[in-house]
């Protein structure tokens, strides 16, 4: 038997009002008006699937004692790299690279649940912890329904032998080439078919038989399901599927539509994470993944939930910041040809040799600690920076990622090229020792000052638009904006 031992979510703090979106597009498509309710989560300009996965993974692993994961699976249909394993970048940032199985799972909205199923197999077969990450930074044409209904987020699920907080009781999958939407290689956006057909021929015909099978496997009846989690942006479809499967209407869980939006391959797991924040021991949760077939996972909440109750859906929903500009959203998502100025033209080629040689430092934020005098310093260097020491070859690896610090100096820079000016940066001095002059992120203009507590987060540093390479590094973010550590 294997179970979920920890689960967490990261919903980026920016929220865009759908009213703002529909008003901006009403001149062209007044039909969007019904979608103009609530708000959607928006990744900051320097976030993508990899950075959000790192953030959510840190939260889950940070609360977990014991050995690190033996495998990391990353599910997404919007991961930044088509070739260069995205899970591998996450592993480097987590300091987990090395003897580790990593895998990207994609190409279907069902990727999140499929990766989770694979994780259970791995956990049982290899007797290892498996970290499943699912995330999306949705990319949709301006003014589309998908732009209204979707949201950005990442979820982390730690799977291992034992009951955990919820054990997997039964699971079934089907594969059906039902193309409700698709995106061909090299294409920017998804292409979708009529919603009525997706509802009738898709959800309503493909999902109920799989549910029936899972219930048989588990030896329970439909009314034994306490929470039904099926991501779907189509109105009332989860309820219709539930009804057909014999599950009562009040067991259908909300899809975070009004507060986050549909997060694609991550969404089934996001709904599961939310349910586990309040579910009681003994309750059963049925999770559905839909996309070219169906995954159905039936969980039973265990007594362990009371000792390790997850809370990050609630906390990251609470840590919201209004993005009061639709045009800024378009710019963040490269949906408008913005005049970025001549300074943006600077060549940002990354020498891959240099990056590889320094990957601990750049991706893992590993500095040095002098074994002679104890001075913590970044970067790690051959000769200790402490003027009173100066020892040579005395330093061991010192990870900085979990350090907390305070702003020593700062500015808000309008001159340097930044996708979201002004660029805030400054010197952060860490409580544990060491300092660095570093970019700030998730800060509000006018709210930065000397002494402000900061933590480190893994973000996009720059994008090489000429070659498509994404350059990652760590930035300092206000402690208050972070998910509760």
Give the number of other CB atoms < 10 A from CB of residue 322: 12
Task: Report if residue 465 touches other proteins, rule: CB under 8 A.
Answer: no
Q: Which is nearer to other proteins, 129 or 424 (CB)?
A: 424
What Å distances lie between residue 262 and 147, 230, 443, CA to CA? 10, 11, 26
CA separation for the pair 93, 271 (Å, rounded) = 26
Task: Report if residue 410 touches other proteins, rule: CB under 8 A.
Answer: yes
Choose the stretch contacting other proteins; rule: CB under 8 A; options: 1-9, 72-80, 206-214, 338-346: 338-346
Applying CB under 8 A, among 413, 453, 469, 479 the residue interacting with other proteins is 413
Choose the stretch contacting other proteins; rule: CB under 8 A; options: 11-19, 280-288, 323-331, 402-410: 402-410
Choose the stretch contacting other proteins; rule: CB under 8 A; options: 35-43, 84-92, 320-328, 344-352: 344-352
Choose the stretch contacting other proteins; rule: CB under 8 A; options: 111-119, 182-190, 305-313, 343-351: 343-351
CA separation for the pair 312, 263 (Å, rounded) = 16
C-beta of residue 85 within 8 angstroms of C-beta of residue 102? yes
Written as six digits, the tokens of 335 are 């949906």
Binding string, residues 420-449; x marks residues near other proteins by CB under 8 A: --xx-xxx-x---xxxxxxx---------x
Q: How far apart are the first and last CA of the chain?
A: 29
Q: Which is nearer to other proteins, 29 or 408 (CB)?
A: 408
According to CB under 8 A, which residues from 107 to 146 bind other proteins? none
DSSP β-bridge partners for residue 474: 458
Q: Which is nearer to other proteins, 145 or 389 (CB)?
A: 389
Task: Report if residue 334 touches other proteins, rule: CB under 8 A.
Answer: no
Applying CB under 8 A, among 235, 408, 465, 480 the residue interacting with other proteins is 408
For residue 320, report the phi and psi dihedrals to the nearest 5 degrees: -100, 150
What Å distances lie between residue 37 and 19, 148, 258, 261, 479, CA to CA? 6, 9, 7, 11, 30
What Å distances lie between residue 240 and 251, 300, 389, CA to CA? 12, 23, 71
Residue (of 399, 333, 415) closest to 136 by Cα position: 333
Applying CB under 8 A, among 381, 447, 484, 485 the residue interacting with other proteins is 381
Q: Which is nearer to other proteins, 200 or 432 (CB)?
A: 432
DSSP β-bridge partners for residue 460: 472
Q: Which residues bind other proteins (CB under 8 A)?
A: 341-343, 345-348, 350-351, 354-355, 358, 361-362, 375, 377-379, 381, 385-387, 407-418, 422-423, 425-427, 429, 433-439, 449-451, 461-462, 471, 473
């Amino acid at each position: 038997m294997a179970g979920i031992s920890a689960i967490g979510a990261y919903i980026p703090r920016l929220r865009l009002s759908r009213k703002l979106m529909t008003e901006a597009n009403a001149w062209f498509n007044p039909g969007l008006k019904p979608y103009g309710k609530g708000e959607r989560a928006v990744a900051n300009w320097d976030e993508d699937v990899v950075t959000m996965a790192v953030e959510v993974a840190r939260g889950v692993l940070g609360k977990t004692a014991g050995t690190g994961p033996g495998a990391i699976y990353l599910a997404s249909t919007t991961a930044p790299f088509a070739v260069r394993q995205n899970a591998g970048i996450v592993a480097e940032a987590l300091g987990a690279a090395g003897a580790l199985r990593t895998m990207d799972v994609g190409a279907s909205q069902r990727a999140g649940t499929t990766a989770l199923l694979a994780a259970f197999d791995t956990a049982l077969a290899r007797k290892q912890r498996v970290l499943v990450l699912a995330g999306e930074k949705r990319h949709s044409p301006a003014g589309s329904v998908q732009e209204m209904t979707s949201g950005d987020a990442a979820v982390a699920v730690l799977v291992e032998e034992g009951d955990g907080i919820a054990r997997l009781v039964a699971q079934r999958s089907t594969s059906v080439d039902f193309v409700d939407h698709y995106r061909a290689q090299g294409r920017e956006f998804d292409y979708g078919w009529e919603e009525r057909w997706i509802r009738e021929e898709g959800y309503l015909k493909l999902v109920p038989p799989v549910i029936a099978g899972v219930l048989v496997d588990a030896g329970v009846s439909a009314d034994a399901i306490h929470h039904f989690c099926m991501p779907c942006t189509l109105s009332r479809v989860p309820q219709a599927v539930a009804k057909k499967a014999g599950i009562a209407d009040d067991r259908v869980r909300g899809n975070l539509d009004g507060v986050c939006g549909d997060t694609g391959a991550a969404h089934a797991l996001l709904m599961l994470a939310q349910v586990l924040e309040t579910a009681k021991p003994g309750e059963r949760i049925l999770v559905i993944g839909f996309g070219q077939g169906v995954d159905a996972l039936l969980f039973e909440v265990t007594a362990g939930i009371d000792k390790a109750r997850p809370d990050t859906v609630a906390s990251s929903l609470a840590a919201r910041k209004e993005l009061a500009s639709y045009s800024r959203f378009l710019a963040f998502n490269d949906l408008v040809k913005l005049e970025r100025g001549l300074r943006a033209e600077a060549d940002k080629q990354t020498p891959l040799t240099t990056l590889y040689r320094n990957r601990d430092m750049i991706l893992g934020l590993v500095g040095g600690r002098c074994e002679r005098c104890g001075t913590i310093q970044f970067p790690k260097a051959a000769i200790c920076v402490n003027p009173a020491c100066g020892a040579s070859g005395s330093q061991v690896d010192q990870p900085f990622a979990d350090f907390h610090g305070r702003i020593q100096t700062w500015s808000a820079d309008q001159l340097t090229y930044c996708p979201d000016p002004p660029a805030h940066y400054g010197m952060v001095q860490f409580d544990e020792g060491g300092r660095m002059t570093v970019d700030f992120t998730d800060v509000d203009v006018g709210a930065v000052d000397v002494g402000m507590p900061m933590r480190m987060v893994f973000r996009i540093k720059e994008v090489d638009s000429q070659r498509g390479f994404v350059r990652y590094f760590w930035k300092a973010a206000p402690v208050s904006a972070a998910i509760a550590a």
